[in-house]
Amino acid sequence: MSGRKSVLLVEDDPRLGPIMHRVLSAQWDVELVTTRVAALEAALHRLFDVLVVDRRLPDGDGLDAVQELRRLRVPTPVLMLTALGEVHDRVAGLDAGANDYLVKPFDFDELNARLRALTRDSNPLGQALPIGSWAFYPEDHSIQSPYSGRITLTDRETDVLRVLANEPERVFSREQLLSTVFEHGDQLGTVDSYVHYIRRKTERDLIATVRSRGYRLGTPA
């Protein structure tokens, strides 16, 4: 939306949530959700620039959502927003993986400034490698679908796709991929299995089969 950075706002207060959405929307592309489960689903299927997460949610603690996202290697900056302002509360938020902590009540100018600071320096997902209309983020172990959003990849799936994406015009034999990516003792069929796994998560054209030669990066729509 107009090139603006995106915010996932996780706030269940029926009065504060819509007010925050309206005020932040003057500068940001804002998506508002009201539960921990909805926050996880949104953050795992769309690439946001920053998350604003309330602690007290109807289905649990917002910290649990942050911890789960970090476990799944989602590195998006997180600002915890809460009425819990004791030092141990702030420490718990930061230890859970949050990047900043703002206590209610707050000033919207300060909130905007903190969000700008969290998104100023660099893309937390790392450098994107384009694959057709898809965007592959090796550092984040994910690929962004133009249709369904963020897709998480395993370490080995990431390594296979990284090799192909770094030299998109080159055809890699199964033997080359086996020796580059996999452990000693793995069989050639392991390469085919991981190519299948990646295609199943994304689409078949993401990796092209070159008959009698091997695999290369594809050109998905």
Q: Which domains does the chain have, with CATH numbers?
A: 6-120 (3.40.50.2300), 129-217 (1.10.10.10)
Contact 28, 5 (CB under 8 A): yes
Give me the residues of the chain with pLDDT under 70, please.
1-3, 85, 121-125
CB-neighbour burial class of residue 93 (10 A; exposed 0-12, middle 13-18, buried 19+): buried
pLDDT, residue 3, reads 65
Structure tokens at 21: 């959405």
SS3 97: coil
Structure tokens at 12: 């269940």
Contact 125, 75 (CB under 8 A): yes
pLDDT, residue 123, reads 61
Pairing of strands 129-131, 100-103: unpaired
Please name which of 12, 39, 19 lies closest in space to residue 111, comparing C-alpha atoms. Answer: 19
- The CA R_g of the chain, rounded to the nearest whole Å, is 20
Residues in the chain: 221
Residue 11 CB contacts under 8 Å (≥ 6 apart), including other chains = 17, 20, 32, 34, 52, 54, 81
DSSP-assigned beta bridge partners for residue 150: 144
Alpha helix segments (H runs only) across the chain: 16-24, 36-45, 62-71, 87-95, 108-120, 155-166, 174-181, 188-201
- From first CA to last CA, the distance across the chain in angstroms is 22
pLDDT, residue 202, reads 95
Contact 7, 24 (CB under 8 A): yes
Q: Which helix (H) or strand (E) holds 51?
A: strand 50-54
pLDDT, residue 207, reads 97
